[in-house]
Amino acid sequence: MPHVQGLRCKECGRDYPADPIYVCEYCFGPLEVAYDYDSIQKSISREKIKEGPLTLWRYDDLLPVDRENAVDIGAGMTPLVRAKNLGKELGLNNLWIKNDAANPTHSFKDRVVSVATTKALEFEFETIACASTGNLAGATAAHGNKAQMDTVVFLPHNLEKGKIIGAAIFGNVVLVRGSYDDVNRLCSELGDNRRWAFVNINMRPYYSEGSKSLGYEIAEQLGWQAPKHVVVPVASGSLFTKVWKGLNEFGKLGIIDNVDTRMHIAQPDGCSPVARAVIDGQSHPRPVIADTIAKSLAIGTPADGIYSVSITKESDGSATAVPEDEIGAGMRLLAETEGIFAETAGGVVISTLKRLAEQGVIGPDEETVALITGSGLKTLEAVEDKIDPPVIDATVESFDEVVMGTVSS
Ligand SMILES: Cc1ncc(COP(=O)(O)O)c(C=O)c1O
Ligand SMILES: [Zn+2]
């Protein structure tokens, strides 16, 4: 970690060593990795990045661990797809989908966990753990296996089957009777007297840095420039803050020109504490009891909520709370137009995008990137009641009778 200076409190600015800690002892603010940008400036270049691996590790100058030790199952460098069909539908001529469902365990969480697991090994932890809304569990257990560590992942008991099985195939899953916020509190208590690396608790300062790679990739894939708009699904707000940080780091280092990006928050109405704060003009999100079909976004007490609200102000962005009954429609619209099957969080993003286009917040020719952060195969429950394929006998007559008329001959 040649460029890491240590950890710094986001609130009071106090410095700490780069240890497995996450809260400031003085003001209880969150700790964040502090880098020596002068030294990064001397090392980083577009050419060097282009010669790097086709994973998030091509940006290792801006990550808090060494690439040589990376726990790498291939996270990052996911497709940025030109979305002409969806764009036509929404009146947006310059629309892109960043398809992070193409990551190894089918969500962007592989990015954060690849970094957190590498750091956990560096700290000589033997057990990797997490409190998850679903996707993080699979990513953590998979990377734990790659690192040959013990894994224990904690999930709310009422999650979709795809999330539970998709994690349990890799490691020890514990289902907790309670919400994600209960699971998170339990994990904090468990962590107090166990030497476990909880990727999103005591590893959080390192873990969250992995999300910056989404910002770097978008800029690189757009030909070394920042888009005008980014639409991001928000749960804790970590991804949202780090995409912004990634774009701005590239700007500061001269890897891209000025960053004039407007950051848009997408939350489901049944759990929208951050969006509500923005809409109501408050700086602090009020905790809510989550009740949404977008279970991956069901965090009622978002750790990075305050910072997400302030980024919407700084970037002249916005926030949308998508009605629950529009989430499935968003998933179907993306599937029908672009051939991408996103999970419920993606439905929230596409419905947000639609509203922003209708409201004129996004202009027809402005370059826009919508983040698809997880796969629809893990949230089949959200759309299965709308899907009813015909069943026919194995005869041409039966096919003609039942199916013809619905497809062109
Ligand atoms: C698919 C998906 N998208 C977005 C998020 C939001 O992540 P964050 O907690 O960084 O806001 C999550 C969180 O679990 C997720 O699973
Ligand atoms: Zn502090």
pLDDT tens digits, one per residue of 127-163: 999 999 999 999 999 999 999 999 999 999 999 999 9
The ligand 1 atom nearest the CA atom of 240: 11
Residue 404, pLDDT > 90, answer no
What spacing in Å lies between the alpha carbon of 395 and ligand 1's midpoint?
46
List all residues whose CB is within 6 A of at least one atom of ligand 1: 107, 133-136, 233-240, 296-297, 343, 345, 373-374
Residue 254, pLDDT > 90, answer yes
Residue 33, pLDDT > 90, answer yes
For every residue of 143-191, DSSP letters joined together read: HHHHTT-EEEEEEETT--HHHHHHHHTTSEEEEESS-HHHHHHHHHHHH
212-221 and 238-252 are packed helices; what angle lies between their axes, rounded to 10 degrees? Answer: 50
Q: What is the pLDDT of residue 179?
A: 94
Alpha-carbon gap, residue 79 to 102, rounded angstroms: 8
Kindly state the average pLDDT of the residues 381-403: 93
Is 345 within 8 Å of 295 (Cβ atoms)? Answer: no
Place of tokens 């429609």: 329
Residue 21, both tokens = 């800690």
Among 135, 304, 334, residue to substitute to test ligand 1 (most atoms within 8 Å of Cβ): 135
Residue 298, pLDDT > 70, answer yes
Residue 207, both tokens = 């873990």
The ligand 1 atom nearest the CA atom of 374: 1
**Closest listed residue to residue 164, CA positions, set 202, 129, 127, 138:** 138
Q: Give the ligand with the smallest distance to the CA of 9.
A: 2
Residue 32, both tokens = 């964040």
Q: What is the pLDDT of residue 253?
A: 98
Taking the CA of residue 56 as centre, how many other CA atoms within 13 Å lie in the half-sphere pointing to its CB? 33
pLDDT tens digits, one per residue of 63-113: 999 999 999 999 999 999 999 999 999 999 999 999 999 999 999 999 999
Alpha-carbon gap, residue 70 to 47, rounded angstroms: 21
Residue 316, pLDDT > 80, answer yes
What spacing in Å lies between the alpha carbon of 9 and ligand 2's midpoint?
5
Residue 409, pLDDT > 70, answer no
Residue 283, both tokens = 């700086």
Cβ atoms < 10 Å from Cβ of 34: 19
Residue 1, pLDDT > 80, answer no
For ligand 1, atom 14: residue with the closest CA: 296
Residue 195, both tokens = 């030497």
Residue 349 one-letter amino acid: V
For ligand 1, atom 2: residue with the closest CA: 373
The fraction of the chain above a pLDDT of 90, given in percent, is: 96
What b/e sequence results for 293-304 when a residue is b if at least 16 CB atoms lie within 10 Å of its CB, and e otherwise?
bbbbbbbbbbbb
Residue 223, pLDDT > 70, answer yes
Alpha-carbon gap, residue 244 to 223, rounded angstroms: 18
Give the three-state DSSP class for 46. helix
Residue 408, pLDDT > 90, answer no
Residue 130, both tokens = 């997490």
Q: Global pTM?
A: 0.97
User: Helices (DSSP H) in 180-252: which residue ranges?
Assistant: 180-192, 204-207, 212-221, 238-252
Residue 201, pLDDT > 90, answer yes
User: How many angstroms separate the Cα of 193 from the Cα of each of 35, 56, 149, 189?
Assistant: 30, 33, 19, 8
